Amino acid sequence: MKLQYPQLLKQQSYVDGHWCDADNGKQQAVVNPANGELLAHVPMLGAAETQRAIDAAQAALAKWQALTAKARATILHRWFALITQHTEDLALLMTSEQGKPLAEARGEVAYAASFIEWFAEEAKRVYGDTIPGHQTDKRLLVLKQPVGVTAAITPWNFPAAMITRKVAPALAAGCCMILKPALQTPLTALALAQLAEEAGVPAGVFSVVTGDAQSIGKVLCDSPVVRKLSFTGSTAVGKQLMAQCAPTLKKLSLELGGNAPFIVFDDADLDAAVEGAVIAKYRNAGQTCVCANRIYVHEKVYEAFAEKLAAKVMALKVGAGVDDGVVIGPLIDAKALEKVQTHLHDALDKGAKLLCGGQPLVGNFMTPAVLTDVTSQMKVAHEETFGPIAPLFRFHDEAEVIAMANDTEFGLAAYFYANNLSRVWRVAEALEYGMVGINTGLISNEVAPFGGIKASGLGREGSKYGIDEYLEMKYLCMSV
Ligand code: ADP
């Protein structure tokens, strides 16, 4: 891995504006999932260092929140510009530690940067209210104030974007943030911190603590100083963190697992649906929480859709993300590959047919698969596969498919393809999900509210709503 700007490869954590090692000197290796190559070591911080990051955030808070929104925005705009300028290096770091193809990594850098630009703009539009008084001598006002010290815990599947869509609104609102990135992908997080420092983010306002998830998580959750936690990851860990935050009654944003249905009605444009399914299913080798997990196809178009999809999927090039033309990189690790293979074999054992792919390859690779004759008894129907398998379920009518689509504890993203306008409205309103893609397989962007319902979490990120998660309302009642 050769970076144009070698300062972006950091092997230390960033606490209170200083690059530091663990107190006990412990480190963790970061490896390339495509070939097992050792990329770097990062410190394994624990409770004491995390507490120092919290203290630093608390110390930095008053000055940061006292800046004008425009002054904070100027720093965020500089951060945005630096990230954009270093796109190639950041993409290479990301592909090296996470595996996604370089083109996708470049796309994620742009997506990650877009949150910083967006919230730099939104910082200046945090308006309050004046409310007509309930009595003639009363004047009522609502102020919006930053929540205070906040924390974020992020996953490995989007090593940059899951960070910026938390840090950018936090900093824009006038909050400080301590980030614990995923251990698999700390290098992108640390490179972002390097650029934040260069952009002029003051010491303590943004710290990055790499290390032991449980001990860092516990200190962040237990601390009465930390007023909010934003987490993206599994539902199981999200529930655990919510329980750990109960004693200090923290505000929470939780972006958890999904089990996205992707429905193809018989009035859909079939070619467009196939294109959309490829994007919604195979991006990041199927490792996104909005990936289509269950593909429901109307019986009239089932065979045609399956054939067209398999033809496209067989053409997807599998390989290391840095190689030309690769669309499907490795899975994050051996355990992930094992889970995906378990889902595949469970489906095959219960009668599904394999149209293409499904072969595990040396390393953590797998050829992208299409399964037909899938039923709701199979694991792929109930659990998030998080890998490149498209299971095709057959359905007969609209009511049946809506019931099947909603038959899950999750409620993050759903997709459907249809052209009948009445149906489009009916189905969009009936799907119990936080986000619905209609005739498109790609829904995420910085201007729209991202988030789920049910076991998929709490709160929204991005959009004009995202900054509210980092603001408290204060009501003033004035007697005149
Ligand atoms: P995934 O399956 O995507 O790895 P996880 O929910 O396990 O999802 O991990 C998401 C993030 O949560 C990572 O940064 C991970 O280190 C962190 N994490 C996992 N377990 C805990 C925990 N008990 N306390 C705090 N953070 C945790």
pTM of the model: 0.98
- Ligand 1 centroid to residue 91 C-alpha, Å: 23
Contacts 24+ apart (CB under 8 A), 104-107: 104/283, 104/284, 104/321, 104/329, 105/321
Give, for all 480 residues of the chain, the pLDDT tens digit.
899 999 999 999 999 999 999 999 999 999 999 999 999 999 999 999 999 999 999 999 999 999 999 999 999 999 999 999 999 999 999 999 999 999 999 999 999 999 999 999 999 999 999 999 999 999 999 999 999 999 999 999 999 999 999 999 999 999 999 999 999 999 999 999 999 999 999 999 999 999 999 999 999 999 999 999 999 999 999 999 999 999 999 999 999 999 999 999 999 999 999 999 999 999 999 999 999 999 999 999 999 999 999 999 999 999 999 999 999 999 999 999 999 999 999 999 999 999 999 999 988 999 999 999 999 999 999 999 999 999 999 999 999 999 999 999 999 999 999 999 999 999 999 999 999 999 999 999 999 999 999 999 999 999 999 999 999 999 999 999
151-161 in b/e form (b: 16+ CB < 10 A) is: bbbbbbbbbbb
Look up 384 and say whether it is catalytic: no
As given in the structure block, the two tokens for residue 197 are 């420092």
Burial of 462 (C-beta count, 10 Å sphere; 0-12/13-18/19+): buried
Continuous H helices in 86-123: 87-98, 102-123
Of all atoms in ligand 1, which is nearest to the CA of residue 216? 25
Domains for the chain: give ranges and CATH numbers: 6-256+456-479 (3.40.605.10), 260-438 (3.40.309.10)
Q: Tell me if 239 CB under 6 Å of ligand 1.
A: no
Q: How many alpha carbons lie under 13 Å from residue 47 in its C-beta half-sphere?
A: 7
pLDDT in tens, 273-288: 999 999 999 999 999 9
Of all atoms in ligand 1, which is nearest to the CA of residue 154? 14
- Ligand 1 centroid to residue 307 C-alpha, Å: 38
The whole-angstrom separation of Cα 78 and Cα 198 is 9
Q: Tell me if 98 CB under 6 Å of ligand 1.
A: no
Going by the DSSP 8-state scheme, the letter that residue 17 receives in this structure is T
- Ligand 1 centroid to residue 155 C-alpha, Å: 7
The whole-angstrom separation of Cα 321 and Cα 324 is 8
pLDDT in tens, 441-477: 999 999 999 999 999 999 999 999 999 999 999 999 9
ipTM over 0.90: yes
| Beta pairing partners, 130 | 141
Among the listed residues 104, 255, 384, 461, the single catalytic one is 255
Of all atoms in ligand 1, which is nearest to the CA of residue 156? 3
**DSSP states of 263-331:** EE-TTS-HHHHHHHHHHHHHGGGG-STTSEEEEEEETTTHHHHHHHHHHHHHTSPBS-TTSTT--B---
Kindly list the distances between the CA atom of residue 53 and the CA atoms of 169, 219, 338, in Å, as whole numbers in the listed order: 19, 11, 37
As given in the structure block, the two tokens for residue 251 are 């505000």
